[in-house]
Amino acid sequence: MKALFVSRHNNDYDSMAPVADGWVAASAENSAIFYFSTPELRWRDDYRTAMLRENGRIGLVDVWDIAGTGAAGDWLDSQWAGADANHRFRRKVVQMATEALVMPRYRAGLLRLLDREKPDIIAFDWYSPPARRKRFGYFGYQEILSWAKAHAVPIVSLPHGLVLYDRPQEKPSKAEAYYHTSFIQSEERRQISERNGDDLSKIFVSGSPRYDPSWVERVARRLAVKDEPESDRVNIVFFGKKQVYDFDFAAQNAWLAHLAAHPRVQLTIQPHPRGQKDKAFAALAGLSNVVIDAKTPASALIDRAQIVSTLTSSVMVEAVVRGREILYPKFVNTVLTRFEEKGACISLERMEDTHLAIDAFIAGERVPRENYEAFLKETVFGGRGPDTIARICTRMAEIAGE
């Protein structure tokens, strides 16, 4: 059976790559097409791409392949490397040029791909595809939805991110209008869907494939830092959170400066890729023991760290799987987090507690591992154990064969 995976953002790629890999590993008869539906996703030299290419039964195509733009497309694609949130004017110019070059042949090319490959099942990575194509989007979701409906091909939604805190009630996703099944991470997410009036018969609690320990360990081995010099510093990495709820960004930065003032701390800060510009941390970047790193894969930063810190970024889950300690500045936040509920972190009630917590870590104090395991079981593995990838692929095969 052949599966088509449709990805838009790096977070999508994180969630879908392990499922595509597991899909082809599950059966010698399985194959996959991975479609990168926007030039914003710089996938060609990505470590996840290298992992997918290790199996010869996964095809990789992107917007430029679909539109058949040739040398002009190759040149314009190269311009996207510097068209990020820190260069908004350049980004807009590149978007407009891409729109003009790609769109005349885009829809026809996408439909040709679908007719040629004839997937048996299609996997998206969002809950509610917009009714119309977003300008500068190139996602092709409406074309794919229409094609799947006309050819009676089931579409499923794979998990994206994690519900790590209580959110305001969301609008109903109306998933039944698009999907045969929506795979979701946890019973907590299912309860949100129930409150929102979703069709629960089309929801499958699977866990988050990105944090299946088998995949996490494969990524860790690929990105492991070799011959890292020994240091008496405590290496801490802080992952920024997109500002989608009310927390005080200035207070967060004040705390990070206080954390960096500890004489044994070496701090790396990774801004959220769609949350803050690098300059939002400019004052911190001037400190000798602080690095602002927006480029290094999160897995590599975790590999170098003894402690990982965040407000609610789900990247911390990989750190938990890999046995790192979580440092949580609770006093900066306005939400109740799942890992705090389980005691799966060093929770700071006040800024003044920070240096004491670092001293205790240096002295050998640790959060009980069973607290972390309870958090993983309920929030990350869907209460079903860690074999998330196999669980999803088995259900997808059943759906494709129905």
Yes or no: say if 76 and 100 are a contact pair by the CB < 8 Å rule: no
DSSP, collapsed to helix, strand or coil, labels residue 347 as strand
379 CB burial (10 A radius; 0-12, 13-18, 19+): buried
pLDDT of residue 170: 57
CATH of 230-380 among 3.40.720.10, 3.30.160.270, 3.90.550.10, 3.40.50.2000: 3.40.50.2000
Strand ranges in 53-144 using DSSP code E only, listed in sequence order = 58-62, 121-124
Residue with the bigger pLDDT between 240 and 116: it is 116
pTM: 0.89
CA dist 398 and 328 (Å) reads: 41
Point out which residues pair with 268 in neighbouring strands.
237, 291
Domain residue spans of the chain: 2-212+387-401, 230-380
230 CB burial (10 A radius; 0-12, 13-18, 19+): exposed
Yes or no: say if 396 and 344 are a contact pair by the CB < 8 Å rule: no
φ, ψ of residue 89 in degrees (nearest 5): -65, -45
Task: State which of 93-102, 220-229, 266-275 shows the largest mean pLDDT.
Answer: 93-102
Model pLDDT for residues 277-330, shown as the tens digit of each residue: 656 787 888 888 999 898 898 999 999 999 999 988 888 999 999 999 999 999
Chain centroid to CA 349: how far? 28
pLDDT of residue 176: 54
- The yes-or-no answer to whether 2-212+387-401 and 230-380 have a common fold is yes
Instruction: Quickly name the fold that domain 2-212+387-401 has.
Output: Rossmann fold (3.40.50)
pLDDT of residue 88: 81
pLDDT of residue 335: 84
CA 47-51-55 angle, to 5 degrees, is 155
Which positions ≥6 away from 137 have C-beta within 8 Å? Answer: 37, 38
Which positions ≥6 away from 300 have C-beta within 8 Å? Answer: 223, 225
Model pLDDT for residues 137-183, shown as the tens digit of each residue: 777 888 898 999 999 999 999 987 787 887 655 555 555 567 899 99
- For residue 92, which amino acid is it? K
pLDDT of residue 275: 57
158 CB burial (10 A radius; 0-12, 13-18, 19+): buried
Question: Measured between alpha carbons, how far apart are the two ends of the chain, in Å?
Answer: 12
